[in-house]
């Protein structure tokens, strides 16, 4: 949410699932579209949250007919078969001057990745014992098909100047401001 550019008027949530991010975006932006391939999960999200355009389909092949000031995707990229094509597609859907934010899951391959994964495993156990557990309805892909290095390299080729952050629990964030 902190990455939303000033003056943003439209947002796209790719792989919206239960619609939580779309609802948060709707609190900040009037024009929000949410896409997911699962019709059942979209129906449940639409029943829960109003004021959002819900579209069932594959973002890789559907024609949306426009670009968006904010394109956001959480835990979706590892479900798409071609990493570079997926990053390119999300960049193409981002309007000039807009922002693309991806929070994803990646596979550990380096010592640093594995150590961060251990921290994540401990963190996960702590959260599981001390907090209410929320169960998402999305299918699980484990291990993630792409390594942190593969995601960084693909993003570097497609999204020049993208900011990269790596987090425990096998997560990363990419933030890219499309030149405007």
In whole angstroms, how far apart are CA 63 and each of 21, 44, 52, 60? 22, 24, 18, 9
**Number of domain units in the chain:** 1
Q: Which helix (H) or strand (E) holds 101?
A: strand 94-105
Angle at 67 between CA 63 and CA 69, to 5 degrees: 150
Task: Tell me the per-residue pLDDT of 65-114, one tens digit each, with 9 for 90 and over.
Answer: 999 999 999 999 988 889 999 999 999 999 999 999 999 988 888 888 88
pLDDT band at 137 (very low <50, low <70, confident <90, very high): low
The answer as to whether 1 is a domain residue is no
* pLDDT for 134: 55
Nearest residue to 59 via CA among 30, 79, 32: 79
* pLDDT for 128: 77
Domain span at residue 145 reads 10-177
The answer as to whether 2 is a domain residue is no
What CATH number does the domain containing 158 carry? Answer: 3.40.50.150
The answer as to whether 51 is a domain residue is yes
The answer as to whether 119 is a domain residue is yes
Q: Terminal CA-to-CA distance of the chain, rounded, Å?
A: 20
Q: Whole-model pTM?
A: 0.90
The answer as to whether 4 is a domain residue is no
Task: Tell me the per-residue pLDDT of 16-68, one tens digit each, with 9 for 90 and over.
Answer: 999 999 999 999 999 999 999 999 999 999 999 999 999 999 999 999 999 99
């Amino acid at each position: 949410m902190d990455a939303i550019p000033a003056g943003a008027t439209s947002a796209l949530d790719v792989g919206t699932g239960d619609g939580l991010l779309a609802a948060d975006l709707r609190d900040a932006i009037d024009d929000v579209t949410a896409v997911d391939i699962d019709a059942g999960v979209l129906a449940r999200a639409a029943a829960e949250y109003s004021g959002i355009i819900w579209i069932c389909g594959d973002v890789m092949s559907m024609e949306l007919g426009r670009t968006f000031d904010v394109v956001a995707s959480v835990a979706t990229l590892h479900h798409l078969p071609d990493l570079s094509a997926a990053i390119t597609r999300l960049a193409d859907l981002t309007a000039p001057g807009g922002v693309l934010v991806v929070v994803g899951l990646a596979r550990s391959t380096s010592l640093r990745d594995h150590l961060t994964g251990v921290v994540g495993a401990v963190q996960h156990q702590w959260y599981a014992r001390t907090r209410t557990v929320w169960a998402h309805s999305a299918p699980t892909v484990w291990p993630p098909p792409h390594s942190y290095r593969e995601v960084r390299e693909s993003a570097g080729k497609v999204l020049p100047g993208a900011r990269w952050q790596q987090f425990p629990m096998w997560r990363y964030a990419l933030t890219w401001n499309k030149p405007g």
